[in-house]
Amino acid sequence: MITRRKFQKLSFFSLLLSSLKGCAKLDKSDLKLNSAVTNPETFILWERGYLPGENQGILQLVAAWKQLTGKKVNLKLVSDDFIEQSLLETWKNPNNVKAPNIIFSITFNQIIAPLLAWEDQLLDLSDLIEPIASSFDPDVLPQVLYHNQVRGDRSYYALPIGQSDAYIHYWKDSLAEIGYTETDIPQEWHQFWQFWKTAQTQLRSHQHPDLYGLGLCMSANGFDTIAAFQLFLDAHNVKIATHQNGIVLNNTNNRKDFIAIIEEFADFYRQGYVPTDTLTWSGSGNNIAFLNHRILMTLNMTLSIPRSQKLENNQYNQNAAKRYRDIGTLATYPKKLDGTTLQAPRVLNQILVLKHSQNSQDTLDFVQYLLKPDNIRQLIHGFNGRILPTMPQLLKDPLWQDPSDHHSAAALAICNRPRLPEYDKLHPIFSHIYMQQLWAQIIHRVICKNASPTEAANWGIEEIQNIWQSFENKL
C-alpha cells in the first residue's frame, strides 16, 4: 500500500543521483546587479516537491546564482501547508520584517495573490515581465494583471512560470476487467458520472469489494475540491459574478441550478460512490487513494498522479512503469448539460515577491534571473512534468512531445481548451471564498449537518454576499 510518505519518496533512489554541477546556464552580461539597497540575503520560500528530484531545479539555480554573484540566498523548501500559513500571516501582518522576499507555490499563490495585490502587499513586476511579454501564452499574463486598490491600477503582481489544469485520471486495467475502454466513456454530463457508478457496481462483483467508482475530493484542504466544484458550476452554466452586475449567484436561475449542483455533488457521497474519508483528504489524499486502487477515477489539478510513477527505467521500477501505462488521462471533458464545451479550470503556478521593508534590488535581480527561458525550463523539468510551462517555446521540449506518452498528449489537449472565467482576477472576494473553502463548507453542511441543498445554498450565498459587502464598505 502506498502511504503519503511512500508517495513522496517513491523515486528517491532514482532521482537523488542528479548533481548540482553544470545544470544552470549563466551569462553575467545579462544580469543587472546595480543594487541600490543591499540586503544580507534573499529569503525564499519554495513549495517542496512530492519527490526529491522535483526540488533539484530550484536548488541548482540558487547554487549557480550564489556562485556567480556572491549574493546570499536563504532558500527554504517547505510544504504547501507551510506556504499557506506564511502567506496568511503576511496578509494579516504586512509589516512583518521576517516575511520572505519570494514565495512560490503550485496552487495557493493563485488563491491569495489577488487579495495581496489589492492591498498593495506585492511588488509590481511589470518592468521585468513586459520586455518579454511576447514569450508567454497570450492568455496567461492577463490573468496576473491584478488590481491594486491602494494605487488604483492593474499591474503584473505575479510571475506565472507554470500552469496546470483539472486532469481526469482513471485505471485502464480496471475498466478492461469489465470490458470497457476509454471510447466507452460517455461525453454527456449525467451519463458520464453514471458510467463510473455502474463501473463501481460491476467491479465490486469482480472481487473488488472496496473499490469506489469516484474519487472526487470533498475536503476543505487544497485546491481539488474547488476545481471539481467549478466544473459542476460550469456544466450547469451557473455564474457567480460578472463585471457588470457584481454577485449574480442569487439570481433566480443561478440559485436554482446552484441548489441542483449541491444536491448532485453531495449525492455522490450519500449514495456511497466516493470514499468516506474524502471529506478529510489532504492535498495528496486522492493521489494516495488512487495509486492504492481504492478509487477508479479522480480529478487532480496537476499531473502528479501519473508523473510520480514515471521513474528511471530499471529493474527496481517495473511496478511503477506498469502503473504509468495502466493509468489513463482523459484528453476531453464531458459536455455541459446544454451540450456545449465544458471549460477547464486552470491554476497558474505563480512566483510572488512580497512588498516590505526588507526588499532589495538583489531580490528583483534574482527574479529576473529566473525569467530566462533556460532557467524556467529547468524549473519546469524539476517538477518532473507535473506542470506545463507558460512559454509556448518550452512546450517543444521532448518532455511534452513524446508521441508514446499519452499523459503528455492529454495535458496538451486540455491546455488548448477554453478556460473557465478567472473569477480570482475579477475581485479579491474570490480569494476569501477559496481560502475559507466555501464550496467544501456548503457540501459538508449537507453531508455532515443534514442541511437540505436549499438551506446549504442559502447559507453559501449569504456568506458570499457578506464578503462582497465587507469589501464594498472599505471602498
| CATH code at position 450 | 3.40.190.10
Q: What share of the chain is helix, strand, coil (3-state, %, to 5)?
A: 50, 15, 40
Q: Are residues 222 and 353 in the same domain?
A: no
Residue 428 lies inside a defined structural domain of this protein: no
Spell out the per-residue pLDDT of the chain, length 475, in tens.
555 444 444 433 333 333 333 344 444 333 333 333 445 789 999 999 877 778 889 999 999 999 999 999 999 999 988 998 999 998 888 887 788 999 999 888 888 999 999 999 999 999 999 999 999 999 899 999 999 999 999 999 999 999 999 999 999 999 999 999 999 999 999 999 999 999 999 999 999 999 999 999 999 987 899 999 999 999 999 999 887 788 899 999 999 999 999 999 999 999 999 999 999 998 889 999 999 999 999 999 999 999 989 877 777 788 989 999 999 999 999 999 999 999 888 889 999 999 876 667 889 999 999 999 899 988 888 888 889 999 999 999 888 888 889 999 999 999 888 776 666 566 788 888 999 999 999 999 999 999 999 999 999 999 999 998 887 755 5
Name the DSSP class of 230.
H
pLDDT of residue 10: 41
pLDDT of residue 421: 61
Residue 284 lies inside a defined structural domain of this protein: yes
Residue 399 lies inside a defined structural domain of this protein: yes
Residue 424 lies inside a defined structural domain of this protein: no
Q: Are residues 315 and 464 in the same domain?
A: yes
The set of cell numbers assigned to 96 is 512583518
Q: Are residues 266 and 175 in the same domain?
A: yes
* pTM score: 0.88
Q: Are residues 59 and 103 in the same domain?
A: yes
How many whole angstroms from its chain centre is CA 192?
24
- Indicate the length of the chain as a whole number: 475
pLDDT of residue 20: 33
Q: Are residues 96 and 179 in the same domain?
A: no
pLDDT of residue 418: 77
Residue 423 lies inside a defined structural domain of this protein: no
Helices first, then strands: H and E counts in the chain = 21, 13
Q: What angle do CA 329, 331, 335 make, to 5 degrees?
A: 115
The residue whose grid cell reads 478492461 is: 176
Q: Are residues 192 and 308 in the same domain?
A: yes
Q: Are residues 358 and 326 in the same domain?
A: no
Residue 71 lies inside a defined structural domain of this protein: yes
Per the structure, how many domains does the chain have?
2
Q: Are residues 467 and 374 in the same domain?
A: no
Q: Which domain holds residue 60?
A: 14-163+349-415
Instruction: Report phi then psi at 406, rounded to 5.
Output: -70, -20
Q: Are residues 176 and 114 in the same domain?
A: no
Q: Are residues 333 and 371 in the same domain?
A: no
Q: Are residues 80 and 107 in the same domain?
A: yes
Q: Are residues 78 and 157 in the same domain?
A: yes
Check if the beta carbon of residue 111 is closer than 8 Å to that of residue 435: yes
